[in-house]
């Protein structure tokens, strides 16, 4: 039995049926990482001792006839911006090289309390600033489908780890597309939840009014189960929602495709979209139609302004969050400085990656005296308009279907010196974060170069249950999500 191709439910059932042990599952993934990650480079830190120790505990529970958690025996690769107590958490930046946190993020603890097994910490753009994982202070991660290409970002390590079957699932964060975009580019499923659905506590802050914590896995069914364990109010995060958490995994057949109104926003199918992606995404829409859904042409007129709103508000919040970093209480340090101001400047100047500096500078500029009204306030007003356009559309349709990104994975290095081109890649994902809505990325085919691509289902606030149900039914009719890259040929 191939232990690295099982869903969470099948792993748990296999353990209960004594078909295999949690130690065997963990060992299988660890062997694969050992053999293949030198080419993919998804992991900053692999945690074999912890994984095996946790796996033994799960096996012990089973042998003693005790209850096991909902994620028992499944491995999790955790984006390095999530703090993990006692385990280096770099956030993908040299700023936090060697940082060993004294506490863990809430969502990580919740996942672990369901008997998941930590397999390692995965690469990302520094503090999640990027769309290709090339901004990482450590190394670039390679797309398992074509090692010469990016995996997407910023949760590139998370997506690559799932695609390469180095882990059952992964945790990621989505501030402007950072789960959905790498999920689409690596051919895996990913969920960006409603703002506030999951706690942000213990995850390095990027843009506090945008950040959401989610997961990536092979199937939507897995995501439903993981989200069920991750979501919910947290006293440590005042912005987490008190909205009750449905048993998503029990509601996968909840939505009937018959009569379902699916909106296709014309702005997301513009000439900016690669024609091959357009065709595959339309085929997905047509499959829903064939099973009874109605496709409705809709318009979200301010979509193109999403990027501009995003690249004012997010860097502004970044500059405020990053201003809290003093390089004194944790993080590496420059040798000597003549005074405190010099220390701040030199320390931050030395260790922050170029993209970190760029975003701090954009944000500080936008918030500086005389520009607040023109930038931050203006962008916050356009944010209202974008949010309202979605609300108007949800009067007419149940869900929106759109491509995740305008192109498939591009070659490593191609856009690194052109930040504007990188920023524009977010065009189809940022508006969802600007509005704070949930969105599920689902793989729906391959382009002519066998690179994966996907569509996203965007729902109204707190309708993750509907998105999972609609996405899951698609995966019952297709097998794109089951296809895996052929990594075994790597020498």
Partner 1 sequence: MSSTTITDDIISKVAKLARVQLTEEEIHTFTSQLSPVMEHIDSLNSLNTDAVEPTFQVTNLKNVFREDVILDSLSQKDAIAPAHKSEQGYVVMPKTIDK
Cβ contact 237:223 at 8 Å? no
Tell which residue, 440, 486, 478, 433, has the closest CA to residue 459: 440
**To the nearest whole angstrom, how small is the minimum distance from the Cβ of residue 216 to partner 1?**
23
* 114-173: contacts with partner 1 (CB under 8 A): none
Q: Does 435 bind partner 1 (CB under 8 A)?
A: yes
Cβ atoms within 10 Å, residue 346: 17
Of 74, 178, 189, 240, the catalytic one is 178
Tell which residue, 98, 116, 78, has the closest CA to residue 202: 78
Active site residue 154: yes
- Over the Cα atoms of the chain, what is R_g? 21
Give the x/- contact pattern for partner 1 in 364-383, rule: CB under 8 A: xx--x--x-xxx-xxxxxxx
Q: Which of 190, 196, 214, 443 binds partner 1 (CB under 8 A)?
A: 196
**To the nearest whole angstrom, how small is the minimum distance from the Cβ of residue 370 to partner 1?**
9
Q: Does 14 bind partner 1 (CB under 8 A)?
A: no
Q: Does 220 bind partner 1 (CB under 8 A)?
A: no
Nearer to partner 1, 10 or 415 (CB): 415
Q: Does 291 bind partner 1 (CB under 8 A)?
A: no
Q: Does 419 bind partner 1 (CB under 8 A)?
A: yes
Active site residue 79: yes
Q: Which of 45, 99, 295, 484 binds partner 1 (CB under 8 A)?
A: 99
State the burial class of residue 36 (Cβ atoms within 10 Å of its Cβ: 0-12, 13-18, 19+): middle
Q: Which of 18, 49, 66, 102 binds partner 1 (CB under 8 A)?
A: 102
Q: Which of 333, 407, 414, 483 binds partner 1 (CB under 8 A)?
A: 333
CA–CA separation, 110 and 146 (whole Å): 34
Q: Does 109 bind partner 1 (CB under 8 A)?
A: no
Nearer to partner 1, 385 or 490 (CB): 385
**To the nearest whole angstrom, how small is the minimum distance from the Cβ of residue 197 to partner 1?**
9
Cβ atoms within 10 Å, residue 462: 19
Q: Quick one: CA dihedral 367, 369, 373, 374, positive or negative?
A: negative
CA–CA separation, 358 and 447 (whole Å): 33
Nearer to partner 1, 131 or 362 (CB): 362
CA–CA separation, 390 and 395 (whole Å): 9
Residue ranges of alpha helices (H) inside 327-441 are: 340-351, 354-367, 378-393, 419-424, 430-435
Structure tokens at 31: 């062997």
Residues known to be catalytic:
79, 154, 178
């Amino acid at each position: 039995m191939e232990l690295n191709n099982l869903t969470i439910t099948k792993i748990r059932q296999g353990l209960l049926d004594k078909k295999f042990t949690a130690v065997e599952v963990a060992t299988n993934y660890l062997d694969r990482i050992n053999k293949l990650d030198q080419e993919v480079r998804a992991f900053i830190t692999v945690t074999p001792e912890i994984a095996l120790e946790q796996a033994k505990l799960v096996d012990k529970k089973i042998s003693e006839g005790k209850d096991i958690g909902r994620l028992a025996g499944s491995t999790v690769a955790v984006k390095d911006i999530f703090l993990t107590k006692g385990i280096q958490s770099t956030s993908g930046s040299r700023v936090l090289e060697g940082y060993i946190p004294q506490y863990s993020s809430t969502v990580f603890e919740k996942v672990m309390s369901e008997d998941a097994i930590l397999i390692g910490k995965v690469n990302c753009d520094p503090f999640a600033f990027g769309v290709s994982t090339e901004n990482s202070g450590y190394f670039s991660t390679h797309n398992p489908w074509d090692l010469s290409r990016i995996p997407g970002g910023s949760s590139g390590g998370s997506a690559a780890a799932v695609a390469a079957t180095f882990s059952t699932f992964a945790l990621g964060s989505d501030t402007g597309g950072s789960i959905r975009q790498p999920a689409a580019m690596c051919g895996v499923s990913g969920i960006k939840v409603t703002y506030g659905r999951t706690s942000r506590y213990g995850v390095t802050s990027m843009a506090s009014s945008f950040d959401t914590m989610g997961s990536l896995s092979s199937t939507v069914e897995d995501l439903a189960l993981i989200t069920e364990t991750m979501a919910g109010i947290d006293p440590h995060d005042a912005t987490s929602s008190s909205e009750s958490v449905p048993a998503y995994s029990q509601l996968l057949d909840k939505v009937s495709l018959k009569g379902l109104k699916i909106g296709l926003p014309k702005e997301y199918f513009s000439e900016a979209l690669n024609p091959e992606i357009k065709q595959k995404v339309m085929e997905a829409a047509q499959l829903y139609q064939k099973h009874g859904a109605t496709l409705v042409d809709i318009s979200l007129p301010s979509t193109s302004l999403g990027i501009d709103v995003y690249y004012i508000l997010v860097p502004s919040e970044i500059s405020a969050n990053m201003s809290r970093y003093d390089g004194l209480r944790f993080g590496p340090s420059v040798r000597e400085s003549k005074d405190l101001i010099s220390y701040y400047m030199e320390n931050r100047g030395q260790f922050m990656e170029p993209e970190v500096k760029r975003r701090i500078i954009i944000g500080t500029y936008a918030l500086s005296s005389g520009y607040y009204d023109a930038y931050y306030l203006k962008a916050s007003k356009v944010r209202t308009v974008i949010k309202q356009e979605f609300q108007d559309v949800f009067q007419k349709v149940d869900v929106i279907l759109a491509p995740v990104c305008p192109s498939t994975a591009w070659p490593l290095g191609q856009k690194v010196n052109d930040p504007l081109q990188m920023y524009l890649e977010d065009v189809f994902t940022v508006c969802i974060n600007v509005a704070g809505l949930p969105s599920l990325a689902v793989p729906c085919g391959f382009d002519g170069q066998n690179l994966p691509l996907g569509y996203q289902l965007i729902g109204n606030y707190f309708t993750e249950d509907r998105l999972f149900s609609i996405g899951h039914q698609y995966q019952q009719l297709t097998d794109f999500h089951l296809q895996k890259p052929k990594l075994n040929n790597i020498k």
